Amino acid sequence: NDKQATGLVLYNLSFAQMMSDEFDVARTTAEKGLDLFVSMGDQRSQAQIMWTLSRIDQRLQDYQSAKEKGLVSLKICEELGDKWGRIFLMQHLGEIYLNMEQPEDAHSIWHQALSFAKENKHPLAASLQERLDNLGNHF
């Protein structure tokens, strides 16, 4: 339908704007897309666009807001049974925990994500292992 197509265009546009460091514009675009997805009850797209909003906040060093949005997105993925999305979000949240100087939390979520990644043959398994190795084994 037209709303879905418009929402997906807004999602893709917001991602491109974020990657071009146009954070204010990207946030506005993503929020418009989120409103459409909420009005349609499209939870999967809500999770994706919340992840983008979380990444925008992370890039702007608003780590608390980034964490909150990332956790909302993770919860939606868990509710939908989206194992792959869950692993991507857990990796992202680990990065935010490091940004917030919470290495124990980063280690914990990356350890969980690595377990899920290995179970599901997810391509992030090697990256997650490397991140854990870089944190050290003292946790």
pLDDT of 139 higher than 60: no
Domain boundaries of the chain, sorted by first residue: 1-62, 82-139
Cα–Cα distance measured from residue 138 to residue 73, given in angstroms and rounded to the nearest whole number: 30
pLDDT for residue 54: 98
pLDDT digits (tens, 9 = 90+) for 102-130: 999 999 999 999 999 999 999 999 999 99
**Residue indicated by tokens 């857990």:** 90
pLDDT for residue 69: 98
Say if pTM beats, i.e. exceeds, 0.85. yes
pLDDT for residue 138: 54
pLDDT digits (tens, 9 = 90+) for 26-70: 999 999 999 999 999 999 999 999 999 999 999 999 999 999 999
Mean pLDDT for the stretch of residues 85-114: 97
How many angstroms separate the Cα of 7 from the Cα of each of 69, 86, 93, 113? 18, 22, 25, 29
**Angle subtended by helix axes 23-40 and 43-59, to nearest 10:** 160
Candidates 30, 100, 28; CA nearest to 66 is 100
Q: Which amino acid is at 60?
A: L
Beta-strand ranges (E) seen in the chain are none
Angle at 128 between CA 127 and CA 134, to 5 degrees: 90
Mean pLDDT for the stretch of residues 7-25: 95
